[in-house]
Structure 1
C-alpha cells in the first residue's frame, strides 16, 4: 500500500501492517542503521527490522512487532518485492490525527564520498547556490493544512532549491504557524539532537534530513527525527576519516532553533 505521508526522498515508501513503513534501501544504509551509536538511535526513527539480501533481521522491535503473526506477514510482503534490502520502521506519524509534515535536508554538505568526482563537483555547486550553504538546511518537501482557509498546502523539493536565505525563513514561519507550546516542544527536541551531534565524533550525516511532524489536532504530539543514513560517513577503516564533530549538521540544527525562537 502506498504511504500517503511521504513528502520527500527518492525511495518509494510503502505502508505495511498498521503502523509501519517499508523502505527499499542500500546495503550501506542498512549497515549504518546496524552501527548507529546509541545516542543517535534515540533521535532516529524506530527501526524494527532490516531485510538484508532477503533475510529478515530483528532490530529494535516495537510492541506490535512482538507477535509471530507480524513476522510472518512481513516475510510474505517481502516476497512480493523485487528489491532485497529494506528498512522496516515504525511510522513516526502514527497516532497523529492531522500531521503537518516537512523534510529538511540537514547540513552544509549533502553528498556521499562514494559519488564520482564530476557528480561531487555538481553537488557542491548546487549547495553553494541554495540554503544548504546559508542555513545548513534545505526544504525538500512539506504538506500541511493552511489554518486560515483549510486548504492543503504541498511544497516540493524543486521549490526548496529555489529559495534564497530570506525566503527560506518566510517558508519556515508559514509551516511553523503553531502554538507556542508546540514550538517549545520542537526546540526541546532540537536541543537534544544538537547535544547528540556535539558529543559525537568521527561521524558525518551527509544527506541526512530532519523529519518534522506536528499534529494540528493534539497539541502535545510533536516529533523531530534525524532520518536517512545512506550517504553518511562512519570513518571506518579504508574510508575517509572525519575527526571531530559534524559542524555542518550542528549549524543547521542551530539555525532551525533560532528561527523557531524568533
Structure 2
C-alpha cells in the first residue's frame, strides 16, 4: 500500500509500510492490509469467521487465563479491537504492539512454523491447498518464509521478498535468504544472530512445556533495526543491538486444544530453524 492509499484512511491511521506477509487490499483477499495508528500500534483486519473469533479469543485468554500466561512474553501486547470505517465499510481490527516502532532501518521477516499448516478441523480442500503452499521448504525444514524486507548494509540497498519468491525457496536458496536477512556479510552480524538464538531458545523452552494448545499456520515475526547494527561498529557496544531486536509469535487463527500433549509440529519446525541459524552462525 502506498501514500495514495493512506489518504483514503481515517485521520490518525496510515498503511503499515513494514508488512511483509499476509493478505492485503492489493491481492483481493482483504479490504485492507495492516494499518498503523498515530498512537504507535498496528491494526490487523479481522474479517473471516470463525478464524477471527479464534484469534481474538487467544489474545484475550493470554490476558485473563492463568493457563495461557506462558505465551505472554512471546506475543505482541494486545489492546483489544477497534472498528474503522474505510470507504464505507465497517472493518474490525485487532490493535497490537508495533515491534518495529522507532526503527530507522527496519528489517522484518515472517517465518511460518510447522510442516503442517492446516488445523485438524480443516476441510479436505483446505488441507490440499495448504499442502501445496511452500511445499518444498516445509518438507525440507518444517517451516517456510512468506516474506521479508532487509536493509543490506554491505551495499546500502533495500530488498523485499514476497510470497512468490518465498514459495520457490529450497534447501539451497532458503539458507541464502536467511543470510541475506541477517546481513551476514556485515561485521557483528554474528552477535545479532546470537541474540535472536537466545530469544528463540526461550520460545522453544516454553513450547517444550506447554500442553494447553496446538497452533497451526502461526508465524514468528523477526525484527531488528539495521541502523543500530551500523552504530554498533563505531560504539563497540552490543547493547545497541540488543535494544533493537525482537521475535514475536503472531497469527492465531488456528488454535486447538492440546489435550495435554506437546505440539510436535510446531516444536519440530522451531528446532529446525534454530539449527539452521546455528549453522549459519558457525559459518556453514
TM-score range, shorter chain: 0.7 to 0.9
Calculate the TM-score normalised by the size of structure 2: 0.75
Shift of 1:195: 0.8
Question: Quick one: which of 38, 46, 54 aligns to 2:77?
Answer: 46
Give 4+ residue runs of structure 1 displaced > 6 Å after superposition. Answer: none
Deviations 1:67-124 (A, max 9, x none): xxxxxxxxxxx35573453210111101222121100111121123443222212322
What is the aligned partner in structure 1 of residue 17 from structure 2? Answer: 4
What is the aligned partner in structure 1 of residue 93 from structure 2? Answer: 86
Q: Which runs of 5+ in 2 are unaligned?
A: 1-13, 25-32, 47-51, 63-67, 229-240, 280-284
1:155 and 1:222 mapped to 2: Cα distance? Answer: 20
Closer, same or farther in 2 for the Cα pair 1:99/1:126, shift >3 Å? closer
Q: Are the counterparts in 1 of residues 152 and 183 from structure 2 also a CA contact under 8 Å?
A: no
Calculate the TM-score normalised by the size of structure 1: 0.81
Is 1:111 matched up with 2:118?
yes
Q: How many residues align?
A: 230
Q: Are the counterparts in 2 of residues 24 and 87 from structure 1 also a CA contact under 8 Å?
A: yes
2:140 and 2:90 mapped to 1: Cα distance? Answer: 37
Closer, same or farther in 2 for the Cα pair 1:212/1:113, shift >3 Å? same
What is the aligned partner in structure 1 of residue 197 from structure 2? Answer: 187
1:185 and 1:83 mapped to 2: Cα distance? Answer: 41
Q: Which runs of 5+ in 1 are unaligned?
A: 55-77, 236-240
Question: Quick one: which of 7, 18, 30 aligns to 2:39?
Answer: 18
Q: Are the counterparts in 2 of residues 24 and 86 from structure 1 also a CA contact under 8 Å?
A: yes
Is 1:225 matched up with 2:267?
no
2:71 and 2:95 mapped to 1: Cα distance? Answer: 17
Q: Are the counterparts in 2 of residues 44 and 226 from structure 1 also a CA contact under 8 Å?
A: yes
What is the aligned partner in structure 1 of residue 209 from structure 2? Answer: 199
Shift of 1:242: 4.9
Closer, same or farther in 2 for the Cα pair 1:114/1:16, shift >3 Å? farther
Shift of 1:167: 1.5
Shift of 1:18: 3.5
Shift of 1:181: 2.1
Shift of 1:208: 0.3
RMSD of Structure 2 on Structure 1 (CA):
1.9
Q: Are the counterparts in 2 of residues 144 and 153 from structure 1 also a CA contact under 8 Å?
A: yes
Shift of 1:243: 4.2
